[in-house]
């Protein structure tokens, strides 16, 4: 089963209550949440992603293949509003950990999460240290796609692939990078932090006829020829199908992601994430070196 751990601020718009916490403190925040616990929270940046992931269970009918777990810094007392909002929006989220002010990342691995989504970079970094792929959801006013198909887009190096080639580019430049990738074209790249999540998405795809699959995956990378071959051969070796592969040769990714209508885009570079978040919901993939 694909398991996603998500914080309440990534799932819902909690900006108003978070501002109260920052400006007036914990007790004022607690009183505000309790007095408004029957006021439904609006969707946050990752809400459409979660909704479409959970909808896959409805389409499969006979088996549950996706679970979303709420991981929150709230206490159960202040978290009642969140569960009330989950019920109102008809999200099939049954499991939760309310951590009373502590980082909720600690329970991501115990729940078997393949991915942890949070608005807090520090929580994401701690989750990665414990062996769980993590991404910081970047806040933006991005309009949500109306397409019923779930569309996930990934950067390549340091995301679904390891950092080994990216480090050559960062240290020695493009010419050395292309030379390295051409000479190693038939040697598969090692997996990056998001390979297990990608593998689970691909497994979900295999449960549907290809022509009717409600889940679509794209690779959106700055690579171009001749470095494309190693990527293609790596995915073949992993036996993972990518529906769309965009080799952009350094072009900005944001406009292409808008055309693709991604429900979420994962990239490790902060600049790429900031630009993409103006067009589509975006998660910055956490690297322990960041």
Q: How confident is the model at residue 145 (pLDDT cuts 50, 70, 90)?
A: low
- The confidence score (pLDDT) of residue 74 equals 82
Assess whether 42 and 132 both reside in one domain: yes
Residue of 190 and 99 predicted with greater confidence: 190
Q: Which segment of 18-32, 92-106, 226-240 scores lowest on mean pLDDT? A: 18-32
pLDDT exceeds cutoff 70 at 6: yes
> Measured between alpha carbons, how far is 88 from 86 in angstroms, rounded to an integer?
5
Q: Is residue 143 in a domain?
A: no
Q: Is residue 262 in a domain?
A: yes
Assess whether 17 and 100 both reside in one domain: yes
Q: Which of 216, 262, 209, 206 is nearest to 239 (CA)?
A: 206
Q: Is residue 87 in a domain?
A: yes
What is the average per-residue pLDDT within 250-271? Answer: 94
Residue of 115 and 26 predicted with greater confidence: 115
Q: Is 192 helix (H, G, I), strand (E, B) or coil?
A: coil
Assess whether 7 and 130 both reside in one domain: yes
Q: What percent of the chain has pLDDT over 70?
A: 97
pLDDT exceeds cutoff 80 at 273: yes
Contacts with 201 (C-beta within 8 Å, 6 or more apart), sequence order: 2, 152, 215, 217
Residue of 100 and 196 predicted with greater confidence: 196
Q: Is residue 80 in a domain?
A: yes
Assess whether 250 and 176 both reside in one domain: yes
> Measured between alpha carbons, how far is 47 from 256 in angstroms, rounded to an integer?
22
CATH number at residue 179: 3.40.50.1000
Q: Which segment of 18-22, 50-54, 111-115, 144-148 scores lowest on mean pLDDT? A: 144-148
- The confidence score (pLDDT) of residue 240 equals 96
Which residue has tokens 């799932």?
A: 11
Radius of gyration, CA atoms only, the chain:
19
Contacts with 49 (C-beta within 8 Å, 6 or more apart), sequence order: 150, 152, 263, 264, 281
Q: How confident is the model at residue 260 (pLDDT cuts 50, 70, 90)?
A: very high
Residue of 10 and 23 predicted with greater confidence: 10
| pLDDT tens track for 173-212 | 989 999 999 999 999 999 999 999 999 999 999 999 988 9
> Measured between alpha carbons, how far is 273 from 241 in angstroms, rounded to an integer?
24
Q: Give the count of domains, the chain.
A: 2
- The confidence score (pLDDT) of residue 242 equals 95
- The confidence score (pLDDT) of residue 189 equals 95
Assess whether 157 and 130 both reside in one domain: no
Are β-strands 66-72 and 215-221 bridged in parallel, bridged antiparallel, or unpaired?
A: unpaired
pLDDT exceeds cutoff 80 at 61: no
pLDDT exceeds cutoff 90 at 146: no
Average pLDDT, the chain: 91
Q: Which residues are known to be catalytic? A: 155
Assess whether 97 and 176 both reside in one domain: no
Assess whether 176 and 112 both reside in one domain: no
Residue finishing a domain among 105, 137, 169: 137
- The confidence score (pLDDT) of residue 142 equals 58
| pLDDT tens track for 72-88 | 888 888 889 999 999 99
- Which tokens hold the place of 181? 């990738």
Q: Which domain holds residue 268?
A: 150-285
Q: Is residue 208 in a domain?
A: yes
């Amino acid at each position: 089963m694909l398991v996603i751990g998500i914080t309440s601020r990534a799932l819902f718009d909690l900006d108003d209550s978070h501002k109260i916490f920052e400006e007036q403190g914990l007790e004022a925040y607690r009183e505000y949440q309790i007095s408004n616990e029957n006021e439904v929270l609006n969707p946050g940046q990752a809400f459409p992603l979660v909704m479409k992931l959970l909808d896959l269970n409805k389409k499969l009918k006979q088996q549950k293949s996706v679970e979303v777990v709420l991981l929150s810094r709230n206490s159960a007392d202040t978290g009642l509003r969140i569960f009330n909002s989950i019920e109102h929006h008809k999200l099939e989220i049954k499991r939760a950990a309310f951590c009373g002010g502590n980082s909720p990342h600690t329970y991501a691995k115990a729940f078997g999460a393949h991915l942890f989504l949070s608005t807090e970079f520090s929580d994401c970094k701690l989750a990665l240290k414990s062996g769980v792929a993590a991404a910081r959801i970047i806040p933006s006013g991005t309009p949500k796609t109306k397409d019923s198909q779930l569309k996930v887009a990934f950067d390549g190096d340091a995301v679904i692939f390891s950092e080994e080639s990216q480090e050559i580019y960062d240290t020695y430049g493009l010419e050395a990078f292309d030379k390295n990738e051409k000479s190693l074209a038939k040697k598969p790249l090692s997996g990056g932090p998001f390979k297990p999540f990608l593998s689970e998405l691909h497994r979900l795809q295999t449960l549907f006829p290809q022509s009717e699959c409600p889940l679509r995956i794209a690779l959106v990378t700055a690579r171009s020829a001749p470095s494309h071959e190693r990527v293609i051969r790596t995915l073949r070796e992993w036996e993972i199908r990518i529906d769309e592969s965009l080799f952009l040769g350094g072009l900005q990714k944001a406009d292409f992601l808008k055309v693709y209508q991604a429900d979420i885009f994962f990239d490790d570079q902060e600049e790429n994430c900031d630009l993409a978040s103006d067009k589509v919901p975006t998660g910055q993939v956490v690297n322990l070196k960041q």
